[in-house]
């Protein structure tokens, strides 16, 4: 069914059609019987798919990556598609509109997507209040946090603290996003000393009152081997739970799309990222002797792609661009393929 309507959807601006489709899904789910229909069509459950990772019980290892549901408005609706976990955000302390439109571009020839959204979101207070009302039904929810564009890097830690404190009681794990290419200067926070400062500060707050939440670091695929070695060292020193590998890439190598598309600024996701993200997962897993959790994301469009990430060292996987190109049946196909 999705293959039939995809050509029509792809005729419209990616960001606009995202809001049209998700808004339609929310309205449809209010109609009696629609949720049951979606469950029968898309969900696939099997005890063998359950995973215990970071002390959390996931009903299956396939999640929705951050960026798709920035403001936590779609959790209950997207849960009907059979995700094992959903990561909301990136959330910042203050609401912000993000970068100027258009800011998202499909590359159909490459099965990729370029975005320069810029952490557009309604702010952590709105998102936290919304998460309190969510009917989770056993779904794991992650909170991806970042800094506001107007916050200078030397004050970035305060933004991460605000988001961490506000979301602490309403998410199951945290993701520190210092790797988006769409906020000026943000990737400078991936350097060793500023990154250690942010993570150590969050861990100090995390361990108070005798309870804590897993903290993960989301990294760029464009890091060198020496920078990846630093990441392994930082994870060990700060004792965070692990890494999400990877965010979008600035690389434009070996693309078939037209120049006016592939030369758009922003982060590239989808199939062109698949090989590099797997390389990063494998490097981190082998060099660290599997000492921390890795969530694999980047170019997962099939069960084979997901299995490749898991064999490389990922405990869990996330999809984003693959969900756009393959449709909601992708989750079931991956889960069946993993079995």
Contact 79, 41 (CB under 8 A): no
Strand order in the sheet with 267-270: 104-107, 112-115, 267-270
Q: What is the pLDDT of residues 51-106, one digit of tens each?
A: 999 999 999 999 999 999 999 999 999 999 999 999 999 999 999 999 999 999 99
Q: With a cut of 90, say whether residue 138 has pLDDT above it.
A: no
**For the chain, the helix, strand and coil percentages under 3-state DSSP, each to the nearest 5:** 45, 20, 40
Residue with token string 């990616």: 14
Question: What residues does 63 pair with on adjacent strands?
Answer: 85, 318
pLDDT digits (tens, 9 = 90+) for 223-248: 999 999 999 999 999 999 999 999 99
How distant, in Å, are the alpha carbons of 234, 318, 327 from that of 196?
Answer: 6, 25, 38
Residue 184 binned pLDDT confidence (cut-offs 50, 70, 90): confident
Q: CB under 8 Å to 34, separation ≥6 — which residues?
A: 28
Confirm if 316 and 85 have CB atoms less than 8 A apart: yes
Kindly name the residue from 179, 180, 274, 277 that is annotated as catalytic: 180
Whether 174 shows a pLDDT value over 80: the answer reads: yes
Where does the pLDDT of residue 7 fall: very low under 50, low under 70, confident under 90, or very high at 90 and above? very high
The band of 211, judged by pLDDT with boundaries at 50, 70 and 90, is confident
- Rounded to 5 degrees, φ, ψ at 176 are -90, 115
- The pTM is what? 0.96
96 forms bridges with which residues in the sheet?
121
Is it the case that residue 291 has pLDDT exceeding 80?
Answer: yes
Is residue 179 annotated as a catalytic residue, yes or no? no
The pLDDT value recorded for residue 109 is: 96
């Amino acid at each position: 069914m999705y293959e039939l309507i995809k050509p029509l959807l792809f005729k419209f601006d990616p960001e606009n059609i995202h809001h049209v489709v998700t808004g339609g899904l929310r309205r449809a789910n209010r109609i009696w019987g629609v949720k049951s229909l979606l469950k029968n069509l898309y969900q696939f459950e099997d005890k063998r798919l359950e995973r215990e990772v970071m002390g959390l019980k996931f009903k299956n290892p396939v999640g929705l990556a951050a960026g798709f549901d920035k403001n936590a408005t779609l959790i209950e609706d997207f849960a009907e598609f059979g995700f094992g976990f959903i990561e909301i955000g990136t959330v910042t302390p203050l609401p912000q509109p993000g970068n100027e439109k258009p800011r998202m571009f499909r590359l159909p020839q490459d099965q990729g997507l370029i975005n320069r959204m810029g952490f557009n979101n309604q702010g952590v207070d709105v998102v936290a209040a919304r998460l309190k009302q969510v009917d989770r039904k056993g779904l794991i929810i992650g909170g991806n946090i970042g800094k506001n564009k107007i916050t200078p890097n030397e004050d970035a830690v305060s933004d991460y603290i605000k988001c961490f404190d506000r979301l602490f009681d309403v998410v199951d794990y945290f993701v520190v996003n210092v790797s988006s290419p769409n906020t000026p200067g943000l990737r400078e926070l991936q350097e060793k000393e500023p990154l250690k400062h942010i993570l150590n500060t969050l861990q100090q707050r995390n361990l108070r009152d005798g309870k804590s939440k897993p903290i993960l670091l989301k990294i760029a695929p464009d890091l060198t081997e020496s920078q990846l070695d630093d990441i392994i060292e930082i994870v060990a020193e700060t004792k965070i739970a692990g890494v999400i590998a990877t965010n979008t890439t600035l690389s434009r190598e070996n693309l078939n799309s037209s120049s006016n598309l592939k030369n758009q600024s922003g982060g590239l996701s989808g199939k062109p990222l698949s090989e590099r993200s797997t390389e990063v997962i494998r490097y981190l897993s082998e060099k660290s002797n599997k000492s921390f959790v890795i969530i694999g994301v980047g170019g997962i469009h099939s069960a084979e792609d997901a299995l490749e990430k898991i064999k490389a060292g990922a405990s869990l996987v996330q999809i984003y661009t693959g969900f756009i190109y393959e449709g909601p049946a992708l989750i079931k196909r991956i889960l069946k393929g993993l079995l």
